[in-house]
């Protein structure tokens, strides 16, 4: 038994009792209080972290006094960690004694404080139904003994379960004082009575008022009333989520959040029509027109009134929003990569005691969740991670890939085109490979998996950073790539060779310059006069695109030599994107597709090797959400909801790499129809 006495020993003592019976360990957190509450904070910080003991406990019995704003004994994230599966191959098991998924079986919270020292105990149980099953992964209670989770008992009138024993024990203690109690006269002042000091000291009220020893109760009552009012106001308060951006992926995010009637969503967007459309489709949703760049004060006012901010804006704007959140202590979620600018704000976010969750979309996002699930499983089983190759792509469904690029726009068109032009870096068989800017399309290659889709892939950004990020420093191959239908890279290379992917201002494309047609602009790019015959223009294009017929035909089919006006957007890339935004748009009734593939090389402790294949194929709904919207919007919404519910409490810049984050997220994505399929190849060398 470990014993702790407070600094004011006359007021209170606290005990931690450990008992072992067979293979089970019982932990009792008990406080013996006389007149004042024991300072849990002193005990927690000065002597013992409960998480040093909880992982080894089968049953926890908590009887410690808890007051509002006191530290928690076990938080919601603690429960997620404690209830994670454990791998104990050294322990024998049988049909009669199967291996348990985790050590912790039950918690008895005698303190009966909903949301108190056991944070995930939200409602007291009853004598008729003394147990509920708390599923930490899904953060929900069920009145059942079956299923994943831990049994929780929290009955606030526990002594009445043993009425005979209680009556006998308390009766014997009371008998010596019965005469004094019976002969007392409630109509006389207490000072006129002659009774034992024990009885006199036990009289709380006399002649309609508190006795001197108990006048402090009135102060306690007033404090309690104030606390209850504050708690009631907090419980009844709607959670307000500010969603900045109303683009392609906002609709499923807003819909998911507003399934909870206690969540109110404010959509902040520069485009009134899109915002109002979202507000009309979901309950508890309103739209506000705001330009993040032009109206920082308006944005700041929206942020400070929110409980959480979800930024669906272009990633360069995230640091601006993060600064507002840090200033006002508001949690934040983004689906974008954690940039260096955001990383620099980590310390400030920690100091502000806020969570800024990043990379909870598709890629990045679901790719992390699936990868970390596999990595952690391999590590638990004693295996080594030898390689990691991952591809992801948002595509039209095969039957709707009916344009020269075999590609349609389901997310930010600029990002989709810019990514084709950037640099890339990856590791292949312990050799670092660097691709300079502008050469990415030359490195596209056919991929062998899911052959029915006829796919190709090319490297995406810097894959080497994931050796450290994922904890796979010994892997000999690390590559993350982008998927497209075969032919995309060649057609895009043709556009690049013509100069149409350049992002520098072009004099012919100045918005205030003279009108120009695509035919005229093409001759300008070719360095020719605009009076050429169409056949001659095609021949010049053919020569410029390395004498490739498919590239030449793609340029013609995209309308780039037609006699139609150019909507000038200053740069060739921006002008091309605007031109193609209609030609590459989804028609009513068409659907898109998201494909993700992980190939993970594994070596087990017996030296056997294999490759784990993780495939995720998700289709959009022709009359509903696109696959891209679902696979970006739902993960971001799930992460936001987990923060609102206290399931994620890490501070600073956070990524979804912890099991207590990715586990629940993957399960909830399955509930939305987003799931993966795993297979294994044994012929890995």
Nearest to 325 by CA among 349, 344, 290: 349
In this prediction, residue 683 carries a pLDDT of 66
Taking the C-alpha atoms of residue 511 and residue 569, their distance in angstroms, rounded to an integer, is: 6
- Please tell me whether the overall predicted TM-score, pTM, comes out greater than 0.85 for this model: no
Taking the C-alpha atoms of residue 639 and residue 368, their distance in angstroms, rounded to an integer, is: 13
Catalytic residue among 363, 367, 376, 599: 363
Of 225-229, 270-274, 319-323, 402-406, the one with minimum mean pLDDT is 225-229
| For range 573-594, the mean pLDDT | 93
Which CATH code of 3.40.50.300, 3.30.360.10, 3.40.440.10, 3.30.420.480 fits the domain covering 366-490+589-681?
Answer: 3.30.360.10
Half-sphere exposure of 244 (CA within 13 A, CB side): 29
For residue 517, the 8-state DSSP code is B
Encoding tokens for residue 403?
């344009």
Taking the C-alpha atoms of residue 355 and residue 658, their distance in angstroms, rounded to an integer, is: 14
| For range 333-353, the mean pLDDT | 97
pLDDT in tens, 234-282: 544 789 999 999 988 999 999 999 999 999 999 999 999 999 999 999 9
| For range 558-574, the mean pLDDT | 95
3-state secondary structure of 59: strand
Please say whether the beta carbons of 664 and 356 come within 8 A.
no
Does pLDDT of 161 surpass 80? no
Mean pLDDT of the chain: 86
In this prediction, residue 507 carries a pLDDT of 94
Query: pLDDT band at residue 95, thresholds of 50, 70 and 90?
Result: low
In this prediction, residue 191 carries a pLDDT of 80
Longest dimension (CA), the chain: 123
Nearest to 345 by CA among 319, 324, 317, 364: 319
In this prediction, residue 196 carries a pLDDT of 86
Query: pLDDT band at residue 285, thresholds of 50, 70 and 90?
Result: very high
Q: What is the CATH number of domain 239-357?
A: 3.40.50.720
Helix orientation angle between 272-281 and 250-257, rounded to the nearest 10 degrees: 40
Taking the C-alpha atoms of residue 67 and residue 123, their distance in angstroms, rounded to an integer, is: 16
Total residues found in the chain within this entry: 685
Cβ neighbours for 442, distance < 8 A, ≥ 6 positions apart = 493
Cβ neighbours for 301, distance < 8 A, ≥ 6 positions apart = none
Half-sphere exposure of 65 (CA within 13 A, CB side): 14
363 is an active site residue: yes
pLDDT in tens, 510-545: 999 999 999 999 999 999 988 889 999 999 999 999
In this prediction, residue 93 carries a pLDDT of 61
| For range 109-131, the mean pLDDT | 80
In this prediction, residue 5 carries a pLDDT of 34
Q: Given phi > 0 = left and psi -120 to 50 = alpha, else beta, which region is 94?
A: beta
Encoding tokens for residue 445?
């290659």
């Amino acid at each position: 038994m470990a014993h702790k006495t407070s600094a004011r020993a006359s007021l209170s003592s606290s005990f931690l009792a450990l008992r072992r019976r067979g293979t089970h360990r019982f932990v009792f957190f008990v406080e013996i209080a006389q007149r004042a509450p024991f300072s849990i904070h002193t005990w927690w910080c000065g002597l013992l972290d409960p998480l040093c003991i909880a992982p080894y406990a089968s049953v926890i019995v908590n009887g410690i006094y808890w007051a509002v704003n006191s530290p928690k004994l076990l938080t919601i994230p603690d429960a997620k960690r404690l209830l994670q599966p454990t791998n104990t191959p050294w322990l024998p098991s049988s049909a009669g004694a199967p291996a348990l998924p985790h050590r912790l079986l039950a918690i008895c919270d005698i303190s009966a404080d909903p949301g108190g020292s056991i944070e995930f105990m939200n409602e007291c149980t009853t004598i008729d139904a003394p147990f509920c099953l708390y599923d930490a992964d899904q953060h929900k209670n069920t009145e059942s003994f079956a299923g994943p989770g831990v049994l929780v008992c929290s009955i606030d009138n526990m002594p009445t379960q043993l009425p005979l024993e209680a009556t006998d024990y308390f009766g014997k203690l009371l008998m010596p004082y019965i005469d004094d109690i019976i002969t007392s006269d409630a109509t006389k002042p207490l000072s006129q009575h002659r009774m034992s000091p024990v009885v006199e000291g036990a009289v709380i009220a006399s002649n309609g008022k508190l006795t001197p020893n108990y006048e402090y109760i009135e102060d306690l009552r007033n404090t309690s009333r104030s606390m209850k009012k504050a708690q009631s106001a907090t419980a009844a308060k709607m959670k307000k989520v500010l969603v900045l951006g109303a683009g392609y992926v906002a609709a499923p995010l807003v819909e998911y959040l507003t399934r909870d009637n206690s969540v109110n969503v404010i959509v902040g967007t520069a485009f009134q029509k899109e915002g109002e459309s979202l507000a009309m489709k979901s309950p508890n949703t309103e739209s506000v027109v705001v330009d993040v760049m032009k109206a920082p004060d308006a944005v700041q006012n929206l942020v400070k009134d929110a409980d959480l901010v979800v930024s669906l804006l272009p990633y360069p704007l995230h640091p601006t929003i993060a600064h507002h959140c840090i200033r006002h202590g508001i949690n934040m979620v983004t689906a974008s990569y954690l940039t260096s600018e955001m990383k620099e704000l980590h310390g400030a976010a920690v100091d502000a005691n806020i969570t800024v969750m990043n990379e909870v979309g598709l890629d990045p996002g679901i790719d992390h969740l699936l990868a970390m699930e596999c990595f952690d499983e391999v590590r638990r089983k004693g295996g080594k991670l030898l390689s990691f190759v991952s591809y992801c792509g948002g595509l039209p469904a095969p039957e709707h890939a009916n344009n020269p690029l075999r590609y349609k726009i389901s997310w930010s068109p600029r990002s989709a085109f810019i990514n084709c032009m950037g640099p890339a870096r990856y590791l292949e068989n312990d050799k670092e490979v660097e691709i300079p800017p502008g050469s990415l399309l030359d490195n596209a290659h056919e991929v062998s998996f899911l052959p029915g889709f006829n796919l190709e892939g090319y490297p995406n950004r810097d894959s080497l950073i994931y050796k450290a990020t994922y904890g796979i420093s010994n892997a000999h191959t690390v590559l993350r790539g982008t998927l497209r239908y075969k032919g995309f890279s060649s057609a895009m290379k043709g556009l690049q060779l013509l100069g149409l992917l350049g992002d520098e201002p072009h004099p012919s494309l100045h918005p205030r310059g003279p009108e120009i047609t695509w035919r005229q602009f093409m001759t300008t790019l070719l360095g020719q006069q605009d009076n050429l015959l169409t056949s001659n223009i095609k021949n010049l294009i053919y020569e410029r695109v390395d004498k490739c017929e498919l590239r030449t035909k793609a340029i013609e089919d995209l309308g780039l030599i037609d006699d139609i006006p150019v909507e000038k957007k200053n740069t060739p890339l921006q002008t091309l994107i605007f031109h193609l935004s209609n030609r590459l748009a989804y028609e009513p009734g068409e659907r898109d597709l998201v494909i993700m593939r992980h190939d993970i090389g594994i070596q087990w402790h017996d030296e056997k090797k294999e490759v784990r294949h993780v495939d995720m194929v998700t289709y959009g709904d022709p009359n509903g959400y696109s696959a891209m919207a679902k696979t970006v919007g739902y993960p971001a919404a799930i992460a936001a909801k987990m923060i609102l519910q206290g399931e994620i409490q890490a501070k600073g810049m956070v990524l979804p790499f912890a099991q207590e984050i990715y586990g629940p997220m993957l399960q909830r994505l399955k509930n939305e129809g987003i799931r993966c399929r795993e297979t294994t190849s044994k012929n890995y060398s």
